[in-house]
Amino acid sequence: MPALYILIPVALVLVAFAIWLFFWAVDSGQYDDLDGPAHSILFDDEDPMHKAGVSQAQKTEQAPDKQEAPRD
């Protein structure tokens, strides 16, 4: 019986912490985009219409050509 005097307050503190953690996650935007990560693995990074492909294509356009002339 004396163990209940310790276990019940500890359980209430844990529940309160879990509720606070859930509301913190919602407020910080952890649940804003639930479908994006699931769909992002289906797209190839080389696809020009994909966001990663567009940013990679822009980086390659800005980089100077480092190809050497063929030596004879």
Quick: pLDDT tens for 10-65: 999 999 999 999 999 999 988 888 787 777 777 666 656 656 555 655 666 665 55
Helix (H) or strand (E) holding 46: none
Give the predicted TM-score (pTM) of the model. 0.49
Q: Is the dihedral of CA 58, 61, 63, 67 positive or negative?
A: positive
**Above pLDDT 70, what percent of the chain?**
58
The answer to whether the CB of 31 falls within 8 A of the CB of 39 is: no
